[in-house]
Amino acid sequence: MSGEGHDDALLDAIAKWLARDVKPKVMKYEHDDIYPAEMVEQMKELGLFGATISEEYGGLGLRATTYVKIVQTISETWMALSGIFNSHLMMATIVQKFGTPAQKQYYLPKFATGEWRGGLGLTEPDAGTDLQGIRTQAIWDGAHYVINGRKTWISNGKYGTHVALLVKTNPQADPPRAGMSIFIVEKPGVAGVEKNGFEVGQKFDKLGYRGIDSMELIFDDYKAPKSQLVGEDSGEGQGFYMAVGGLELGRINIAARSCGIAKAALDESVRYAQERKTFGKPIYQHQAIQLKLGEMATRYEAARLLTRSAAEAYDRGDRCDMEAGMAKYFASEAGVENSMDAMRIFGGYSYSKEYRVEQLFRDAPLMCIGEGTNEMQRMIIAKQLVERNKI
């Protein structure tokens, strides 16, 4: 079944799952940094690991407009949970857009079921925003590409099976982006080999975004056959563009996660402002609190509409780096501001781990950093503005 009826049924099933199986556990898992293994199994059953993978390969083939509703709904309950399938879908999107027919047949059906899962390996200790500065290399030895280097902060790095890895296949290329490629590398054990030069390093202990594994990955003479190079011969030198192309959907997804945080902060505040009394009346009757609630609701609604508009542009197949950048920038700032306003509305109780707002406050800032920092988003928006309005 496909179409709007199917999308509504899926959203309904996700809402029920969140209420039944996720909400009661979030606080404990988040504070104790517990990987939600059983929720991952439930996400597989819901088809979330194949949400944007084409039906031809066993995915749900959802439009971006439906995908953002799902991501927002899940993030209203627990943003980190959406990271487990969102990073995975970024890897899948790269294979779906740029892989050879054989690579699509090989990877996508198992990515869609979640049997094989993973994420995106771009960042290195010395290169995050400046991706052209990465040092990981894949050098052809006549039979294989031999990969050496180190990645950092990689989501799903511990519990995933595969990573879409950005490397330099020609470290001398000028500009450097012309010598970059993406490989789908796999953990030892996936193909029955016990040691293959791919090691998982330290796990990061984080301020927020807890529960999901953020890892260091180490490559020491990992031998990749040409079949692991995305696009094979025509993919060499295209990795930078593939990574940046995948980020459009990634940015829309960060915007949707941010809407989830902004909405959760608003909902918590609207409820608390009616419960908490000072000077003989509920605090929502004080004008200072009303001003905050009014701003929070407006910010959330503006963020939601920008996110929907970017998703619609993506679904139409339009170039949408400016729209995705605007949505990501505005929604993530809205998430931070709404979580901060919620902290103020909750007063001293906001500092207690018994209330959800302290978690929202810790999760929100990541949205300003991931998939291109908000500094970069504004620069992308400005460049596109000039590009589209040349005199």
Ligand X SMILES: Cc1cc2nc3c(=O)[nH]c(=O)nc-3n(C[C@H](O)[C@H](O)[C@H](O)COP(=O)(O)OP(=O)(O)OC[C@H]3O[C@@H](n4cnc5c(N)ncnc54)[C@H](O)[C@@H]3O)c2cc1C
Binding site for ligand X (CB under 6 A): 87, 119-123, 128-130, 153-155, 206, 209, 214, 366, 369-370, 373, 375-376
Closest contact distance (angstroms) between CB of 75 and ligand X is 14
Q: CB of 266 within 8 A of CB of 300?
A: yes
Among residues 117 and 292, whose Cβ is nearest to ligand X? 117
CB atoms within 10 A of CB 56: 13
Q: CB of 254 within 8 A of CB of 236?
A: no
Give the integer Cα–Cα distance in Å for 297 and 107: 42
Closest contact distance (angstroms) between CB of 2 and ligand X is 30
Give the integer Cα–Cα distance in Å for 254 and 79: 10
Among residues 83 and 114, whose Cβ is nearest to ligand X? 83
Among residues 8 and 130, whose Cβ is nearest to ligand X? 130
Q: Which residue is nearest to ligand X (CB)?
A: 128
Do strands 277-278 and 281-282 pair parallel, antiparallel, or not at all (unpaired)? antiparallel
Among residues 119 and 260, whose Cβ is nearest to ligand X? 119
Closest contact distance (angstroms) between CB of 328 and ligand X is 12
Among residues 357 and 367, whose Cβ is nearest to ligand X? 367
Do strands 118-121 and 162-168 pair parallel, antiparallel, or not at all (unpaired)? parallel
Active-site residue flag, 248: no
DSSP per residue, 61-129: ---HHHHHHHHHHHHHHHHHHHHHHHHHHHHHHHHHHHS-HHHHHHHHHHHHHTSS-EEEE--BTTBSS
Closest contact distance (angstroms) between CB of 207 and ligand X is 9
The single residue of 76, 216, 333, 371 carrying the catalytic annotation is 371
Tell which residue, 376, 370, 373, 367, has the closest CA to residue 120. Answer: 370
Q: CB of 77 within 8 A of CB of 23?
A: yes
278 strand-pairing partners: 281
Closest contact distance (angstroms) between CB of 138 and ligand X is 16
Q: Which residues are catalytic?
A: 371
